[in-house]
Chains A and B, each alone.
Chain A
């Protein structure tokens, strides 16, 4: 059974704090992604990684950084949290399987509130 886990379901942080969101997958997938989801705006890609130590900017990378030191773990860092980063954060991993091609799975999400 495929599994993507995220370190927290809910987080409350203060403006200016450094925030770490962790994501772990157990499927040996090469690709991992971080999205944020806001009402009316859909899913927006922040960063993605297609290999260990590799990272690529998505559509909205400003104010975020990422780290992928191990294949199974992809971290999202908010260097200095701001109120406009209050959102639902979703991690995903994607890999290839015979019969279905490349398939992407999401974690349960982290709802972040920045005060």
Chain B
């Protein structure tokens, strides 16, 4: 059974601080997706990474896929209250099979 371990589970920081969320596995994934979910809403796709070592930036968010495609990280620079939410990582295995989801990191950014 493939698992994705996300850490930390909870994170509460002050506005302006930097943070990193990790997504780790012993399995290799063909792709890795990151989502943000706000209370009462569905997860919204932030990024998909598919190549080992790939780095993608989305404004203040930087996503990295590990060289071996077993892990990923999300780094937020100068966090803002609007970044508050549940961050989920999900690994793709192969076509026509479900994604493997991490349990999520609940981020709270305090003004």
A interface, CB within 8 angstroms of B: 4, 30-31, 33, 42-43, 45, 48, 50, 58, 88, 90, 94, 96, 100-109, 111
State the majority secondary structure of interface residues on B.
Answer: loop
Pick from A30, A58, A106, A109: contact of B98, CB under 8 Å: A58
C-alpha gap A58/B99 in the complex (Å): 11
Which A residues are CB-close (under 8 A) to B92? 101-102
| Known A50-B96, A103-B48; 8 more pairs at CB < 8 Å | A30-B96, A45-B98, A90-B43, A101-B31, A103-B31, A103-B45, A107-B42, A108-B41
When the two chains form their complex, are residues A106 and B95 in contact, meaning their CB atoms are under 8 A apart? Answer: no
User: Interface readout for B61-105 with A: 1 if CB under 8 Å, 0 if not?
Assistant: 000000000000000000000000000101010011011011110
Which residues of B are in contact with A by a Cβ distance under 8 Å?
Answer: 30-31, 33, 35, 40-45, 48, 50, 88, 90, 92, 95-96, 98-99, 101-104
**Chain B residues positioned under 8 Å from A4 (CB to CB):** 42
